[in-house]
Structure 1
Amino acid sequence: MILQSLIAEFDQEANSTRKLLQAIPGKDIAYKPSPISWTMGELAQHIATIYYWYVGVLNQNVYDLAADRLERGEPGDINATLDLFEKNVEKARTALHATTEESLQDLWTMKVGDRTVLGPLPRKVVVRSFLFNHVYHHRGEMIVYLRATDNKVPGLYGPTYEESTVR
């Protein structure tokens, strides 16, 4: 059963994402590694926003990002981003639990206005790639941001290098 596996992974990984976002210090929220990079706050806000997209992926066959509006708050306010994350995780969890195995086979498309930017693809592929793997990619970036600013990185899959007793 694909759906039950996705739900279990979602719950485990949302907890890891929460730990990572909670590790972001306000003092470094404006840090960015290059002129074209997001700030740490913008990256955190993007990670929190991905959880909002579960609703559009799981409840619509064609999701138009241009037609959807999400109030995100100020990216320089990590507490606002943490609140956004928690609200979006609950929306995502509700959407996942309302999904059926059959609907995971349906074709799904993302548009920005008239332009198709993703799909059509089976919804289960979109959940895995656009939602799950997208978060994992940006969490990896956030770990680099935290290390570059001499901040502690929480262990997501066991102890981090800094926490390890075996080096």
Structure 2
Amino acid sequence: MHTSSLQQNILAELDHELITTRKILERVPFENADYQPHPKSMKLVQLASHVVNLLAFKTLFVQHDSRDFLDKNAPKPGPTPTSKDELLARFDEYSATLRKALSDSDDEKLTHPFKLHAGDQVFMERPKGAALRIMGLNHSIHHRGQLSVYLRLLDIPVPAMYGPSADEQGWG
């Protein structure tokens, strides 16, 4: 029986999700950047940018032991992209950085704890591998799903994610 390492499993999942995420981002219509389906929802460009910036957040989980939101010297996300080319270039850059950080890691390092906090208030403390899955991959997939709904509401064909989409099947 073949067993894979934790690192290899996360890399395989990451590779799959990056392909799907890029397909969604390629369809973000910047002419509708301020589109907001509800007053409590993020604007389209904010949501797309958040999906991309989460890649840098995942890299942080791999390379560091904690993130204090009160630390004024902590890395901040870049400015909101002003074009699809800029959004995709940042996605490609952040994806490559994350993939390299994860490739340079190993199972033992991924069992080390990671703490997400604001001063004394702890939001999450888990092994790095679990943090990557829960606050990294799952979090990104959640927001990518929201982004696919924005596309649907703007009548932009939604690409396949885990099987053919209604648009690719010609439904409706």
TM over 0.5: yes
**Aligned equivalent of 1:31:** 35
1:43 maps to 2:8: no
Instruction: Map 1:1-150 onto structure 2 (within 5 A).
Output: 1-65=5-69, 66=71, 67-112=73-118, 114-150=119-155
Unaligned segments of structure 2, at least 5 residues: none
Residues in 2 aligned to 1:18 and 1:5: alpha-carbon distance in whole angstroms: 20
- Quickly say closer, same or farther: Cα 1:165–1:45, change in 2 above 3 A: closer
After superposition, give the CA deviation of every residue in 1:43-90 in whole Å (9 maximum; x if it has no partner): 000000000012210111112344323352334433322221111111
Equivalent residue letter for 2:18: A
* Off by >6 Å, runs of 4+ in structure 1: none
- Equivalent residues of 1:2, 1:101 under 8 A apart: yes
SS at match of 2:169: coil
SS at match of 2:146: helix
- Equivalent residues of 2:53, 2:77 under 8 A apart: no
- Quickly say closer, same or farther: Cα 1:119–1:24, change in 2 above 3 A: same
- Equivalent residues of 2:58, 2:98 under 8 A apart: yes
- Equivalent residues of 2:116, 2:124 under 8 A apart: yes
Residues in 2 aligned to 1:45 and 1:39: alpha-carbon distance in whole angstroms: 10
What TM-score, normalized by structure 1, do the two folds share?
0.90
Residues in 2 aligned to 1:165 and 1:22: alpha-carbon distance in whole angstroms: 20
SS at match of 2:138: helix
SS at match of 1:121: strand
SS at match of 1:119: strand
Superposition CA RMSD, Å: 1.8
Residues in 2 aligned to 1:85 and 1:69: alpha-carbon distance in whole angstroms: 17
Q: 1:166 Cα shift? A: 7.6
- Equivalent residues of 2:62, 2:105 under 8 A apart: yes
> Identity over the aligned pairs, expressed in percent?
28
